[in-house]
Structure 1
Amino acid sequence: MNRILKWGLGLVTLCGPAVEAQQAPMLRELVAAALQKDHGLAIKQLDIELTHVDQQKLKEVYLPHLDLSGKYAYLAAGINVKAPANSVPELGIALPALDDAFTNRANLISGGFKADVLLYTGGKVPALKKALVEKEKGQTAMLEKDRQQIISDITTAYDQLALLKQVKIVLDESQHRLRLNYETAEKAFGYGLITKFEYQKIEVAQAQLDARIQQYESKRQLLIYSLHTYTGIETDRIAMINNDLLPLSQTGEDRSIMGRPEIAALTASIQAHQYQIVAAKSWWKPKVQASTSLGYLNMFDVQLKAKEPFPTGNTMTLKTNKLELLPNFNIGVGFKWDLFDGNKGKREVQQSKIELQKVEREREEVVEKLELNLLKQQSELASAKAEIFVKEKQKRTALNALTQASKEFKTGLIKATDLVGAEADYQSAALEYLQAVFNQRRIAVEILKATGSLHIESIE
C-alpha cells in the first residue's frame, strides 16, 4: 500500500508541470500573448527605436570628427621650355636662349591627422532634439492606441466564447426537454391521442435543434482557431476556456476624451512642428567650428633633367635627396555665415508653418469626432442596459410559459404545435438575452476606448 502511495505521489510530481501547462488561459494571458505576437505593434516599436537612433545622432553632432590619412605617390612629368636669351646686368649673368624639354621625377610621402569639432549651430540642433522628443511621444501614444484595439479584439473573441458557452447551455436544456416531450408524444401517438402531424412537429423541432448545435460547434471551432492565430496559444488550451458572460459595469470614471491616444499624439505632433519652425528659422545664424591638424610631407629622390644639352655642351641635371616638411601643425576656429541662401531657409520656415496649421486643424477635427463618438457610445450604453432588463423579463416570461406548456402537453390540454412554439419562444428569448448582454459588454468596451482608458484591469 505504501509503495502504491509513493508511486502515485511520484506520478503526480512528474505530471504536475504538464497538468499546469494545460490550464485554460485567462483573459490577461490572452491579451499579453496577442500584444507580444502582433506584427503591427512590433513594426511601430521599431519606428520608435529609429527615432532613438535619430536622437543619438543629434547628440553626437558635437563630438569631434577625427581623420587620419596617408599617401605615397611616384611623380613623373615632362616639361617643355622655350625662352629667348636674357641677362642680369646687375649681376653680370647672361642667360642663354632655351628651347629644350626636361623630365622630372620624384617620390612623395604625405600624412596627416585632422580633428573638427562643431561648437555652435545657431540653435538648430537643440530645437531638432526637442522635436524628436515630441515625435517619440506621438509614436508612443499611437502605440497605445493599437494596444487598446488589440485588447478590444481579444475581449470580443473571449466574450464570444462565453456567449457560445451560454448558448450551448440553452440548447442542451432545450434538447433535454424535447427528448422528454418526444417520449410523451411517442406514447400519445401510440395510443392515438395525437395525430401524426403533431408527432412529426416534435421531430422537426428536434432536427432544427440538432442543426443549431452543429452550427454552434462550427462557430466555436472557428473562434478557437482565431484566438490561436491572434495569440499563438495552443488550441487545446483555448478550447478549455470556460468563462461566464455577465454585464460589464466598470466603464471607467473618466468620461473625457482627453485621455485618447490620438489626441496625445496630435498634441505631441504640434509641439514637434513648433520646434521644427524654430530650427528652420536658425538658417541665417552663423555656424562655428573648431579644427586642428598635423601634417607631414616628404619628397625624396627628386630629379630634373634636360633632354638635350645646352649650347655650351653641358646637359643640366638637378637632384634633391629630400624635401621634408615636419611638423605642419595648425589650430583654429572658423565660422560660416549664410548671408543669403537663395530663400531656401525662408521657404523651409513657410513649409513648417503650413505643416503646423495642418496638424492643428487635424487635432480640432479629431476632438470633434471623438466627442461625438463618446456621446453616441454613452447613449447606446443606456439603451443596452435597458435592453438587458427587457430581454431578461421576456426570458423569464417565456420560461414560465414553456413550463406551463410542458405540463399541459403531458395532460393533453394543448397540442404539440403549441408546445413546439413555446419551446421556440423560450429559445429565442434566452438567446436574445445573451446577445443583449454581449452587446452591452461591447458598448462598455467602446466607451473605455472612447475615453482612452481601456486596459486589461478595467475589464477583468
Structure 2
Amino acid sequence: MKSKLSFLLLSLIFYNYSNAQTAPGFKELLDSAMVRDADLRTQLTKNKLTSLDQHKLKDVYLPTLEVSGMAGYMNATAHIISPELNLQPFLNIPEGKYNNNINVSGFSGLAKADAKMLLYSGGKVKYLGKALEEKKQSENILLEKTADEVVAVVSRAYDQLALIHQSKKVLDEGKRRLDANRKTADKALGYGLITPYDHKKIELAQATLDAKVAEYEGKKELLLTQLEVLTGISKERLRLIEPVLVAVTPTVPQKTIEERAEVRALNHGINATTYKIKAEQTWWIPKVQLMASGYYLGLYGARVKSSDNIIPPIPAINYPGRKLDWRPTNLNIFPVFMGGIGFKWEIFDGREGKHAIETARIDRELLQNQQYDALRKLTLNQANNQSNYDIANAQIALKRKQKEMAGDALVQAEKEFRYGMSKSTQLIEAENDLEAAELDYQNAIFNQRRAAIELMRSTQELDISRLY
C-alpha cells in the first residue's frame, strides 16, 4: 500500500512538473479565461435569481401553516341592558332601569393555527411561469455573447503576443545583418574607404535597434501580464509560447443576422413580456384558496362582576338584592375549528390591473424597438466587417510585395557598401526600409486576423479551430 501511495505521489509530481514545462495552448488559455472572466461569472450569478424566481413561483401552490399565540392580562367592561331579566310584573319596577356594567378580568391566553393553500390563481401563475422560462432562455443566450467576447479578448492578446514574437525575430535578423555590416565597416574604416562619420552611423543604427528590442521586450512583458490576469496561468509557462501569425480564411456564413445572440435574446424577452401581459389580464378573475384554522381561548384567575345588582331588592321579603361576582377557576374554549374554501374577486381595483397591463405592453414595445435597432446596427456591422476583411486581405498582398522589394534593395545596398560604391547612409536606409516593411507585413496579418474574427462574429459563427 505504501509503495502504491509513493508511486501515485511521484506520478502527480512528475505530471505537475511536466505541465509546468510545457507551453499552454490557446484552448487552455481560453478555458482558463472562461472560468475567471468577471463579466461571465457575474452574469451566471445574476441568472440564479431567475431560477430562484421560478422555484418561488412553483411554491405558490404549497400549503402554508401559521401558528400564533398571545398571553396577557385582560380587563373588559360591557354595558348591558337586559330585557330578558324583567321583574316588572312581580315588583312593579319601572321599565328600563336594568342597565348594568359587567366587568371581566383575568389572565388570558390565545393560540391560533391557520393553514392556507392556493387552489386557483386565475391563470396568473401559469403565465408568469412561462414569462420566467422565456426570461431564462434570454439570459442563457446572452451568455453566448459574453463567451464570444471573452474569445475575442483572449484571441487579441494571443495574437498581439505573436506579433511581438514575430517582431522580435525581425529585429534579431536586422541586428545580425548590422553586426555583419559593422565588421565590413570596421575593415573599410581601416583601409580608409569610409569616413569615421559613416562608421558612427553604423554604430548609431545598432544602438537604435537595441532600443527597439528593449521597447518590444517591455510590450511583451505587458502582454504576458495581461494573459496572466485573464487566465491565471503563470508567466513562466506563458513565456514558453511561441505563436506564429497566419492569415485566416473564414467560412462562408451559414447563419443570418437574426440568429445573433442579441436578436434571439430579445425575441425571448418579447415573448416574456407577452406572457406578462396575459398574466396581468387575469386581475379580474376570482382567486380560490383552501383555508382551515383552529383556536384555543383560555381565561385564568378570572373574575366576572357587575357594578349594580343583577337581581334588584325585594322589600316584600326583605331581600337586599344581589350583584354578580363570579370567580371561576378558569375558562377554556377548545377546539374552535373552521375550514372551507374561500375566494377573492376584485370587481374594481381602482384601475390598478389595467395600469399593470399597460406597463407590460410598454415594456414589450421598448424591447421591440431595441430589436429593430439591433437588426439595423448588426446589418451595418456585418457590411463594415466584410469591407474591413477585404481591405485587410489586399493589405497583406501589398505589404508582402513591399517586403520583397525592400529585401532586394537591401541586398543591393549591402553589395554596394561592401565594394565601396555607396555610403553607410544608403545601407542604413535600406536596412530601416526592410525592417519597417517586415513589421508592416506582420501588422497586416494581425489586422487581417482581427477582421476575419469580427466577420465570423457578425453571424455568431466564430470557429476557434480555424484560428489556431
Asked if the contact 1:87/1:93 (under 8 Å) is kept, the reply is: no
CA distance in 1, matches of 2:305, 2:12: 99
Task: Give the aligned partner of residue 406 of structure 1.
Answer: 414
Moved more, 55-64 or 256-265: 256-265
Asked if the contact 1:202/1:416 (under 8 Å) is kept, the reply is: yes
Asked if the contact 1:251/1:447 (under 8 Å) is kept, the reply is: no
CA distance in 1, matches of 2:195, 2:238: 47
Moved more, 87-96 or 293-302: 87-96
Mapping for residues 213-252 of structure 1, pairs under 5 Å: 213-251=213-251
CA distance in 2, matches of 1:13, 1:272: 51
CA distance in 2, matches of 1:11, 1:204: 55
Indicate yes or no: 2:201 matched with 1:201: yes
- Cα distance change of structure 1 residues 120 and 164 upon mapping to structure 2, 3 Å threshold: same
Q: How much does 1:387 deviate?
A: 1.2
Task: Give the aligned partner of residue 24 of structure 2.
Answer: 25
CA distance in 2, matches of 1:12, 1:51: 44
CA distance in 1, matches of 2:248, 2:406: 25
Task: Give the aligned partner of residue 67 of structure 2.
Answer: 68
Kindly provide the CA deviation profile for residues 387-412 of structure 1, in whole angstroms up to 9, marking residues without a partner as x.
11121122122212212322232122
CA distance in 2, matches of 1:340, 1:175: 88
Mapping for residues 364-379 of structure 1, pairs under 5 Å: 364-379=372-387
Moved more, 169-178 or 225-234: 225-234
CA distance in 2, matches of 1:197, 1:353: 81
Q: Percent identity?
A: 38
Task: Give the aligned partner of residue 415 of structure 1.
Answer: 423
Q: How much does 1:46 deviate?
A: 1.2
Moved more, 194-203 or 160-169: 194-203
Moved more, 450-459 or 229-238: 450-459
TM-score, L = length of structure 2: 0.89
Q: Which residue identity lines up with residue 189 of structure 1 in the other structure?
A: L
Q: Give the number of aligned pairs.
A: 450
Q: How much does 1:83 deviate?
A: 10
Asked if the contact 1:87/1:95 (under 8 Å) is kept, the reply is: no
CA distance in 2, matches of 1:131, 1:237: 48
Asked if the contact 1:148/1:455 (under 8 Å) is kept, the reply is: no
CA distance in 1, matches of 2:350, 2:420: 101
Asked if the contact 1:69/1:113 (under 8 Å) is kept, the reply is: yes
Q: Which residue identity lines up with residue 163 of structure 2 in the other structure?
A: L
Indicate yes or no: 2:308 matched with 1:324: no
Task: Give the aligned partner of residue 51 of structure 1.
Answer: 50
Kindly provide the CA deviation profile for residues 288-346 of structure 1, in whole angstroms up to 9, marking residues without a partner as x.
11111222333344322356888627554123344433332222111111111111111
2:69 aligns to what SS in structure 1? strand
- Cα distance change of structure 1 residues 342 and 178 upon mapping to structure 2, 3 Å threshold: same
CA distance in 1, matches of 2:30, 2:395: 29
Mapping for residues 61-100 of structure 1, pairs under 5 Å: 61-77=60-76, 87-89=86-88
Q: Which residue identity lines up with residue 241 of structure 2 in the other structure?
A: I
CA distance in 2, matches of 1:12, 1:66: 58
Mapping for residues 161-176 of structure 1, pairs under 5 Å: 161-176=161-176
Kindly provide the CA deviation profile for residues 74-107 of structure 1, in whole angstroms up to 9, marking residues without a partner as x.
32345678999x9434576969967987653234
- Cα distance change of structure 1 residues 80 and 120 upon mapping to structure 2, 3 Å threshold: closer
Q: Which residue identity lines up with residue 117 of structure 1 in the other structure?
A: M
Task: Give the aligned partner of residue 7 of structure 1.
Answer: none
CA distance in 1, matches of 2:12, 2:108: 82
Asked if the contact 2:253/2:461 (under 8 Å) is kept, the reply is: no
Asked if the contact 2:70/2:110 (under 8 Å) is kept, the reply is: yes
Q: Which residue identity lines up with residue 234 of structure 1 in the other structure?
A: S
Task: Give the aligned partner of residue 150 of structure 1.
Answer: 150
Q: Which residue identity lines up with residue 408 of structure 2 in the other structure?
A: N
Task: Give the aligned partner of residue 135 of structure 1.
Answer: 135
- Cα distance change of structure 1 residues 71 and 144 upon mapping to structure 2, 3 Å threshold: same
Question: For 1:343, which of 348, 351, 370 is the aligned residue?
Answer: 351
CA distance in 2, matches of 1:112, 1:103: 25
CA distance in 1, matches of 2:116, 2:81: 46
CA distance in 2, matches of 1:326, 1:13: 71
Q: Which residue identity lines up with residue 237 of structure 1 in the other structure?
A: R
Task: Give the aligned partner of residue 401 of structure 2.
Answer: 393
CA distance in 1, matches of 2:321, 2:29: 103
Indicate yes or no: 2:210 matched with 1:210: yes
Q: Which residue identity lines up with residue 237 of structure 2 in the other structure?
A: R
2:16 aligns to what SS in structure 1? helix
- Cα distance change of structure 1 residues 111 and 100 upon mapping to structure 2, 3 Å threshold: closer
CA distance in 1, matches of 2:77, 2:171: 106
Moved more, 151-160 or 396-405: 396-405
CA distance in 1, matches of 2:192, 2:146: 66
1:246 aligns to what SS in structure 2? coil
Asked if the contact 1:142/1:261 (under 8 Å) is kept, the reply is: yes
Structure 2: state its 5+ residue gaps. Answer: 1-8, 314-319
Q: Which residue identity lines up with residue 256 of structure 2 in the other structure?
A: S
Asked if the contact 1:252/1:458 (under 8 Å) is kept, the reply is: no
Moved more, 255-264 or 431-440: 255-264
- Cα distance change of structure 1 residues 91 and 142 upon mapping to structure 2, 3 Å threshold: farther
CA distance in 2, matches of 1:29, 1:83: 93
How big is the alpha-carbon RMSD for the aligned residues of Structure 1 and Structure 2?
2.7
Q: How much does 1:208 deviate?
A: 1.3
TM-score, L = length of structure 1: 0.90
2:335 aligns to what SS in structure 1? strand
Task: Give the aligned partner of residue 113 of structure 1.
Answer: 113
Q: How much does 1:415 deviate?
A: 2.2
Kindly provide the CA deviation profile for residues 253-311 of structure 1, in whole angstroms up to 9, marking residues without a partner as x.
33522232111111111111111111111111111111112223333443223568886
Q: Which residue identity lines up with residue 25 of structure 1 in the other structure?
A: P
Moved more, 181-190 or 302-311: 302-311
Task: Give the aligned partner of residue 434 of structure 2.
Answer: 426
Task: Give the aligned partner of residue 37 of structure 1.
Answer: 36
